[in-house]
Structure 1
Amino acid sequence: MTEVSQRAREENVSLVRFLYADHGGIIRGKAAAAARLAERIESGIGHTRAMMAMSMMDELQPVEGMGPIGEVRIKPDPNTFVTLPYAFGAAAMLADQVNPDGTPWDGCARTFLKQAIADLAAEGYELQASFEPEFTLGRREGAELIPVDESLCYSATGFHLAHDYIIDLVAALNKQGLEVEHYYPELGHGQQEVPVRHATALRAADNHVLLRETVRAVAIRQGLWASFAPKPLPDQAGNGAHLHASLWAGGSNAFIDPSGQFGMSRLGYRFLAGVLAHLPGLVALTCGSVNSYRRLAPSMWAGAFGCWGPDNREAAVRLCSPIGAAGSVNLELKPSDSTGNPYLALGGFIYAGIDGIRRSLDPGEPLLVDPATLSSSERTRLSVVRLPASLSEALDALEADSLLMSALGPLRSTAYLAVKRSEAAHFAEKDAAYECFHHWMKF
C-alpha cells in the first residue's frame, strides 16, 4: 500500500479506478481519490451487491442475495496498479469484491478464478495463458460503426491506414507492463489484432481487462471507436479472443512430450479431453453474449464443432505447433470472445481441464479436416458435435453441466444464468441491427 500510494504521488495521480468485470461482461468500477488511497486499498469502496445481477442493458435481475439489501467492498489488488498513459491523472487497479469483513464474496468473478488456480495448484500445476483479442476500429456515426478501412487481410494497406492509432496503442500497453507480442490488420474491415505476452492465469485475465480498456480509450482520444463485439458488422469477419493455455510444473511446460503424438504429453491430452467434455456448457462463459453466436458458426474459423486437431483452425481446440521452442506447445480454444467475463471464462476452462486430468479422459482421435465438410453421419461416427448455436442453448448446456455449476457455486451460477437469460430474452424481440449496435457500443 505504501509503495502504491507513493507511486500515485510521484506520477501526479488524482484518481485511481478500482475495476472489475460483471456477469454481463462489462468492465465497471469506482475511483478513489489519491489522497485517501492507502485507506481505500485497505477498506475497499462500498458497493451494492446488486451490480453483479445487472445485465449489459443495465437491467437489474431478481437474484436472491443481489438486491437492494447488502453491501460488498470493491477491494483492489495493489500488485495490479498501473498509471493510465491515455488518461492524465488517472491510474487503475483490478479489484475483487469482498464481504464487509474482508472475506471472499461468492458472487465475485475474480475470486472464482483464484479458486480455480488454487485447485489446479493442488494438482501440482500452474496455468500460463493469454487471450488473443480481435477488435474493429472505426468511427461512430450515430448508430453506425464505420470501419477505418476496407483493406485486405494482413495487407500492407491495412498497416498504413491504422498506423498512428496502433503505434499509440502499443506504447500505452507496453507502459502498463503488457508486452505486445505482435500486431496485424485482420480479415474484416477495420479489424485489428494485438495479442500480449502470456502470463499466469490471474495476470492473463487482468491483462485482458486492461487491454480492453486501453484499446477503447486510445481510440476515443483519437476521435475513433473500437469494439470487441463478436459481430459488430454482420457482413464482416467476427472478433474472437482465442484463449491460449498450457500447464507448467517446476518451471517446465507439462504439455510437452517429444515422444507423444504431435509432441504433447499424456497430461496435455487429458486436460484437452476435459475441455472438450465440458465445452457445450463452457461456451456459455467464453462466448458470453447473444452476438457471440453470429460468429460461432461453421466455416467462420471460430471453432463451431466440439473437436480437436493439430493446427486445425476450424476445430474448437487447436493443438498449436511450437514456435521457436518446444516450450511453446499450447492449446488454443477458438470459441472464445471478449464478451465473456475473462475470470469466469478462464476459471471454467481450468475446471474443465482438471476434470479431464482427474478422470484420465481421452480426447479421441484428432480431426484433420474442416468438420463442416463432413456429413452428419461422419460427424456422429467421429463424435464431432455442433456446439450451441445460440446463447440460450449454451446456457441450457451450462445449467446441465453439474461440474461447472458446482464450481461456480449457487450464488454465482444463479446470477450468471439470470443475467444471461435476460439478455437472450431482450434481444430475441429485436432485429440484427439493434443487436449489433448495442453490442459494438458496449464491448
Structure 2
Amino acid sequence: MGKQEDFVLRALEEREVRFVRLWFTDVLGYLKSVAVAPAELEGAFSEGIGFDGSAIEGLARVTESDMLLQPDPGTFQILPWRGEAPATARMFCDVAMPDGSASYADPRFVLKRTLSKAAERGFTFYTHPEIEFYLFQGKPAAGDEPVPVDRSGFFDHTAQSAGSDFRREAITMLENMGISVEFSHHEGGPGQQEIDLRYADALSTADNVMTFRTVVREVALNQGIWASFMPKPFTTHPGSGMHTHVSLFEGENNAFFEAGAEYQLSQTARHFIAGILVHAAEISAVTNQWVNSYKRLIGGDEAPSYVCWGHNNRSAMVRVPMYKPTKDQSARIEIRTLDAACNPYLAFAAILAAGMKGLEEEYPLPRETEDNVWSLTPAERRALGLTMLPKNLNDAISVAEDSELLAETLGEHVYEFFLRNKRAEWEEYRGQVSAFERDRMLPVI
C-alpha cells in the first residue's frame, strides 16, 4: 500500500472512526453510499468492496451485476455532522469490474478519462463553481409552493438572517472537510443563497460539488429548514445556476493568458471558447439535464438562452471576466449555462471535451456580443447570427442523440443509458396536466 492508504489506516485509529462511508455517484448524479467497518478497509484498498451494480441507475445490466468499489484514499475526510466520538469518515470510490478494470459506466471514470486526454496534450483543467440554491421553511408538500426562509435580495445583509446563520455553519463544515470557500452571499431570489468554491482541478471540484450538496442539505435539516438545488423552483423569481469558471494550465503557466492580446486571451482560450459555443446545444442535455433546467434557461435575467460570448457580459453564455493586470494566473472564462442539479463529473467532462475539440480543430471564435442579449429584438439577434440553446429537454435530447462528441466523451454505456433515461423523463413530463392548464381552462371551458 502507498503513503495515502497508510495515512488513512492510521487516521482511523487515531480519530476513533467507527464507520467509513464509501461514496460513489450513479449516472444521473445521485450520491450513493455504503458503510464499512474500519477493519475492512485494508482489504478494500487492495481488492475493492463488492456490490450489486445492477441495483444502481445505469451502472450495469443484471447479467453483469457484480462490481467493485475501490476507495480513493486522497478523498478521506471525517464527516463533521456525524459527531467526533465515535467518528464517521467518507471516501469517494472508483467503480470497477470484477477483474479490477475501470467501469465504463462510472461517471467519475468518464471525467478521469477526459482529463487524461487533455493531459496527453500537456493540459490540466481547473474549475471554480458558483453554486446557487434556495432555502425553504421545511420540506414542501407535494403540490404546494415552497415558502422561502426570507424575503431578502442580492447581497442583502439582514440582522439575525436565517441565510447568514446557515451560510456560516455550512462554510465551517465545508472547510472542516478540506473544501475551501471563496465567497458567500444572499442571491437575488427570496431565500436564495450562493456559495463559491475555490479553484481546483476538475476531478477535485466534481467531488467537492457532490460533498457540497450533501453538506448543504445536512446543515439545512439540522436547522429545521430545507435546501434545494432545483434550477427553477419559482415562476417569478430567479433560477439557481452553477456558473463555472474554467481554465487550462500547462504546468505552472495559464494557457488562457497572453500578454498584449485582446482581453489578454490566448489563441488557446479563443479556440476553447469556440469549441464550447459550437457544441453548446449538443452538450446541453448533460449540463442542464432536467426538465426543470430549461425553465431557468428561457427565463432571461442572468440565465443564458443564446449561444454567444462576451467580455464581462452577463447575458452571454460564455463570459470573459475583467482581466486583473497583476494576476496572470486568473485569466479564465465563465460558462453560465450549468446548474447545480447536474452530474458534475459528466458536465465537466462534456465542457472539457467541447473546448478541446475547438482547440484541436482550431475553431474560429465568432464576433463577441457586446449588447444585453435579452434587450435585442429577434431581428437584431438574427443579424448577429445568434442561435438559441435548446428550448426544452426534448430539444436537448434530440441534438444529443446526433452528437459524436457526446457519444465519444461519455462512452457507449453512459451515453445510451443517460439519453434513454432523459427521454423517459420527458415523456412522463409531457403527459402531466399542470396547474397552469387547470387554472386557465377549468374556469372558462
Relative contact order, higher structure (CA 8 A, sep 6+): 1
| Match of residue 86 from structure 1 | 81
Quick check: 338-347 or 140-149, which moved more? 140-149
What is the identity, as a one-letter code, of the residue corresponding to 2:130?
E
Q: Is the 8 A contact 1:151 1:158 kept in 2?
A: no
| Match of residue 112 from structure 2 | 114
State the shift of 1:9 in Å: 2.3
| Match of residue 178 from structure 1 | 179
Count of aligned pairs between the two proteins: 425
Alignment map for 1:26-425 (pairs within 5 Å): 26-53=30-57, 65-67=60-62, 69-88=64-83, 89-143=87-141, 144=144, 145-157=146-158, 160-323=161-324, 325-425=327-427
Measured against aligned partners, the alpha-carbon deviations of 1:51-102 in whole angstroms (never above 9, x if no partner) come to: 4536xxxxxxxx9x52364222122211011111112232111121110111
State the shift of 1:298 in Å: 4.8
* Distance across 2 between alignment mates of 1:381 and 1:51: 51
| Match of residue 439 from structure 1 | none
TM-score relative to the length of structure 2? 0.91
Change (3 A) 1:250 1:141: closer
Q: Is the 8 A contact 2:139 2:226 kept in 1?
A: no
Q: Is the 8 A contact 2:139 2:225 kept in 1?
A: no
Change (3 A) 1:313 1:294: same
* Distance across 2 between alignment mates of 1:433 and 1:120: 47
* Distance across 2 between alignment mates of 1:36 and 1:141: 37
* Distance across 2 between alignment mates of 1:227 and 1:113: 25
Unaligned runs of 5+ in 2: 437-445
Provide the secondary structure at the position in 1 that maps to 2:182: coil
* Distance across 1 between alignment mates of 2:433 and 2:91: 38
Change (3 A) 1:17 1:247: same
* Distance across 2 between alignment mates of 1:272 and 1:408: 20
* Distance across 2 between alignment mates of 1:165 and 1:251: 36
Q: Is the 8 A contact 1:135 1:226 kept in 2?
A: yes
* Distance across 1 between alignment mates of 2:247 and 2:230: 26
* Distance across 1 between alignment mates of 2:234 and 2:13: 43
What is the identity, as a one-letter code, of the residue corresponding to 2:372?
D
Provide the secondary structure at the position in 2 that maps to 1:103: coil
Unaligned runs of 5+ in 1: 55-62, 435-443
What is the identity, as a one-letter code, of the residue corresponding to 1:77?
D
* Distance across 1 between alignment mates of 2:435 and 2:201: 38
Q: Is the 8 A contact 2:263 2:323 kept in 1?
A: no
Measured against aligned partners, the alpha-carbon deviations of 1:230-267 in whole angstroms (never above 9, x if no partner) come to: 01233321111111100111201111112211110111
Q: Quote the RMSD (CA, aligned, Å).
A: 1.9
Provide the secondary structure at the position in 2 that maps to 1:313: coil
Q: Is the 8 A contact 1:52 1:415 kept in 2?
A: no
Quick one: percent identity of the two aligned structures? Answer: 32
Q: Is the 8 A contact 1:44 1:76 kept in 2?
A: yes
TM-score relative to the length of structure 1? 0.91
State the shift of 1:204 in Å: 1.1
Would you identify which runs of 4 or more consecutive aligned residues in structure 1 move more than 6 Å?
none
What is the identity, as a one-letter code, of the residue corresponding to 1:72?
M
Provide the secondary structure at the position in 1 that maps to 2:276: helix
